[in-house]
Amino acid sequence: MILYYNIPKTIEDELALSGEERIYYAVPFDIDAGAQWVKDSYLIVTTKRILIHTGGKLTASYDIKDCSEAKSCPRVGGGLLTVNHRGTEKILVHYSAKHLSRYAYVARGINILISGRFEEVESREYEKTCPKCGRAIPGTKRCPKCSGEGTWLAPFLRMAAPYKKQYFGIFILMILAAVTTLLNPELQKHLINDVLKGGGGMKQALVFLGMMFSLSVGIVIVNVLKSNASARLGARIAGDLRYELFRKYQELPISFINDRRPGQLLNEITQDTMFIRQFMEDVFCNLFAVLFIFIWDVIFMLVLNFKLALLTFLFVPLAVFLTMTFRKTMHRIFSLQYRKNDDVSSDLQDVLSGMRVVKTYGKELEEAEHFKHLSDEFARINRRNESFWAVFSPMLQLLMGLGVLAVVLFGGRDVLGGRMTPGALYQFVTYTQLLFQYIGWLNRLPMQLTQLGSCLERINDILGQEVEKQDETKVTDLAIKGEIRFDHATFGYKSYQPVLEDINAVIKPGEMIGIVGASGAGKSTLINLLMGLYEVDDGRLLVDGKDIKEIRKSSYHSQIGVVLQETFLFSGTILDNIRFSRPDAGIDEIIHAAKLANAHDFICDTPDGYNTYVGEKGHSLSGGERQRIAIARAILTDPRILILDEATASLDTESEYMIQKALERLTSGKTTFAIANRLSTLRGADRIMVIDGHRIAEIGSHEELLEKKGIYYRLQMAQSA
Ligand code: ADP
């Protein structure tokens, strides 16, 4: 879809498009050159021209053939789009922050147009529209308006759908519980009127008491069964949701995980699902029983004594009014409590995972202070919420006490006047107490439903994220030979800030490429693209001439190997950790890989050899040893493409020698990309790629680059000085 807004007809007429000329982009902008807000202003890009309409008038026009480069430049609070026109930089439009990513996209589109690749522009898709409301929604986000945010019923029903049978069973038990609860006051009335007052005798009294006792036992049994079934169902739903969330986290693009704080992700899995379990146990298991009792309670009261019932009901709107007034506050304070809780968990995680750095810099006290601040804040919000309830609940209780008092007063008058039997009054008072008891319960319900809504919203937000699954009809397995081609590849973590721009390079199978550049230049980003963790925003990345997007991910990943500066070891044995890359590998193959990786000897020296437990709470390995495990892991899959990210940085000389040797064995004959800050470690590289200013600034052999006397030469001189 092309970014084409319904520009006013007058503007379209004024454009006077020639026969073949077509509009590619018509994008609004909202700030003029004098930093004033403007309306009805558009940047229009056609196959031939770039036109600017400000406030309904054509204010500039440039022929695309005279332009050489378009750039979107983020500024504080917005940005501007420039183009190089006949050698001078021209500012095309200014825009506010809401247009940033759109203009970054347009800038890249203009550059593609400038290079004449029209088809590529046409195949680009930026926004999609919500099928329900037709609003534009960027990327893979769901439409915020139509996804049912803020409500609880639809998501709850969706969550409950797979467990229909269990829900039905619990529903029947709830109805049984309600019927037995409602029968009790009726029996009490007969006991008083027919037996105690009517002189029914001891035998009849015992029969009634026996019935009442059986009913009470019945209520207990039904309630136990109901609670048990609800708790079991709650635990099952929570377990299933936890699993679904965990799986979703693994499927989601890495950028999604990077954008969120770990505490938040953790809470979604643990706390939100725990709340749902609690909701099932404490709220849902009583929900229909309470509603059923409540409705029949009201009917019985009206039938028993219409006037008295109306008098009692006068107190109900007051209670409801109180609840409604407080509801908004409740939502706000509980959302805040959740947010603060996330802050505390995230900080705790940050500090625990960075404990070495904290201790090295002696920042324990500062970190403790920071944590104390967050924790105090959380406690303060918690206290405030508790006090809120502490005041709110007794106010309602008082109201209910007054209601019962009024019933006794006016009902008593009816009994004395002979208009009501004492048994009926007793029954009425019991119904009134039930009514108020359940108003109290129902009164808490909105808060619990609101909390449930927030939990489900967060969970659904994750589960509803579209996973960019590869289209099975378009992807194929590929036996990789190892040729890599970057074809006008552009990528940025934020679409309006490209980290790599217009990267072009062809790497032959088996070639070793050293990647150098200043810190933050984009070396790891290039490698992230090669590892298939991110996709290029524009241009293509080709493997053996095939777009990486068209290669099945599992097939691609099984043919690349990675050795990073910091090797992550999972909790498990050394054997498990090597086998991680190829679970079907036999023990002989693992030992062979470990020998090639120069790891066998040190593994044999550990307490249990290959069965030594490493990772969290396991035997600690040195940096060099971890590295050799990673190399063994990579050797095991015999990858066609290898990625080494500072693999030999921060190692002692002896380890480095062993690892260099192991790496030489690993890399021979494979397309290898090696990032290194110390240029001496790149001696074996066939060519060196220097990344600077978002682009490949230089590429060539060590000798060629030295001769060129450019960036690489200067780096070399600086390091050998
Ligand atoms: P290098 O490896 O050359 O040191 P990187 O590729 O790690 O550089 O980073 C290049 C740029 O991209 C830096 O400006 C960095 O801040 C940014 N960057 C790296 N990773 C992310 C990320 N996950 N999200 C957003 N920006 C990132």
CATH for 271: 1.20.1560.10
Residues 438 and 585 occupy one common structural domain: no
Residues 103 and 206 occupy one common structural domain: no
Q: Identify the pLDDT of residue 721.
A: 67
Give domain status of residue 491, yes or no. Answer: no
SS (H, E, C) 667-703: HCCCEEEEECCCHHHHCCCCEEEEEECCEEEEEECHH
Is 561 near ligand 1, meaning CB less than 6 Å away? no
Q: Identify the pLDDT of residue 129.
A: 57
Q: Identify the pLDDT of residue 511.
A: 92
Residues 341 and 415 occupy one common structural domain: yes
Ligand 1 atom closest to Cα of residue 254: 23
For residue 577, give both structure tokens. Answer: 């950790």
Q: Identify the pLDDT of residue 1.
A: 45
Is 522 near ligand 1, meaning CB less than 6 Å away? yes
DSSP 379-422: HHHHHHHHHHHHHHHHHHHHHHHHHHHHHHHHHHHHHHTTSS-H
Residues 107 and 167 occupy one common structural domain: no
How many Å lie between the centroid of ligand 1 and the Cα of residue 493? 8
The string of pLDDT tens digits covering residues 439-480 is 778 877 877 888 888 888 878 878 877 776 767 777 888 888
Is 627 near ligand 1, meaning CB less than 6 Å away? no
The string of pLDDT tens digits covering residues 696-721 is 999 999 989 889 888 988 888 887 76
Q: Identify the pLDDT of residue 195.
A: 77
Q: Are 227 and 281 in contact (CB under 8 A)?
A: yes
Residues 189 and 126 occupy one common structural domain: no
How many Å lie between the centroid of ligand 1 and the Cα of residue 385? 41
Ligand 1 atom closest to Cα of residue 522: 6
Query: Where are the extended beta strands (E) located within 165-233?
Result: none
The string of pLDDT tens digits covering residues 161-201 is 888 888 889 889 988 888 888 888 888 888 888 877 766 67
How many Å lie between the centroid of ligand 1 and the Cα of residue 523? 8
Give domain status of residue 684, yes or no. Answer: yes
Is 258 near ligand 1, meaning CB less than 6 Å away? yes
Is 151 near ligand 1, meaning CB less than 6 Å away? no
Closest to 280 in 3D by CA, of 175, 181, 163: 163
Residues 199 and 319 occupy one common structural domain: yes
Residues 187 and 133 occupy one common structural domain: no
How many Å lie between the centroid of ligand 1 and the Cα of residue 223? 58
For residue 446, give both structure tokens. Answer: 């909105």
Residues 158 and 128 occupy one common structural domain: no
Exposure string for 176-197, b = 16+ CB within 10 A, e = fewer: bbbbbbbebbeebbbbbbbbee
**Total residue length of the chain:** 721
Distances (CA, A) of 515 to 260, 488, 699: 30, 18, 9
Residues 447 and 568 occupy one common structural domain: no
How many Å lie between the centroid of ligand 1 and the Cα of residue 659? 27
Residues 285 and 396 occupy one common structural domain: yes
Could you give the number of structural domains in the chain? Answer: 3
Residues 20 and 164 occupy one common structural domain: no
DSSP 507-534: E-TT-EEEEEE-TTSSHHHHHHHHTTSS
What residue type is 141 in one-letter code?
A: K
Q: Are 483 and 522 in contact (CB under 8 A)?
A: no
Give domain status of residue 196, yes or no. Answer: yes
Give domain status of residue 497, yes or no. Answer: no
CATH for 665: 3.40.50.300
Segment (H or E) for 128: strand 127-129
3-state secondary structure of 20: coil
Mutate to test the pocket of ligand 1, among 257, 496, 524 (most ligand atoms within 8 A of CB): 524
CA distance 69 to 77: 24
CATH for 76: 2.30.29.30
Among 431, 446, 463, the domain boundary falls at 463
Is 517 near ligand 1, meaning CB less than 6 Å away? yes
The string of pLDDT tens digits covering residues 20-32 is 888 888 888 989 8
Where do we find the tokens 């693999």?
A: 647
Give domain status of residue 573, yes or no. Answer: yes
Among 93, 112, 138, the domain boundary falls at 138
Q: What are all long-range contacts of 600-608, with beta carbons under 8 Å and residues at least 24 apart? A: 602/628, 603/574, 606/574, 608/573
Give domain status of residue 312, yes or no. Answer: yes
Question: pTM score, two decimals?
Answer: 0.65
Give domain status of residue 101, yes or no. Answer: yes
How many Å lie between the centroid of ligand 1 and the Cα of residue 642? 21
Name the residue range of residue 597's domain.
511-522+557-720
Which residues of the chain carry a pLDDT beneath 70? 1-6, 122-152, 198-200, 261-263, 323-324, 326-328, 331, 468, 470, 495, 616-619, 648-655, 721
Residues 23 and 163 occupy one common structural domain: no
Give domain status of residue 444, yes or no. Answer: yes
Q: Identify the pLDDT of residue 138.
A: 52
Cβ-based neighbour number of residue 389 at 10 Å: 14
Q: Are 542 and 548 in contact (CB under 8 A)?
A: yes
Is 499 near ligand 1, meaning CB less than 6 Å away? yes
How many Å lie between the centroid of ligand 1 and the Cα of residue 693? 13
Among 463, 495, 530, the domain boundary falls at 463
How many Å lie between the centroid of ligand 1 and the Cα of residue 520? 6
Nearest CA to ligand 1 atom 24: 493
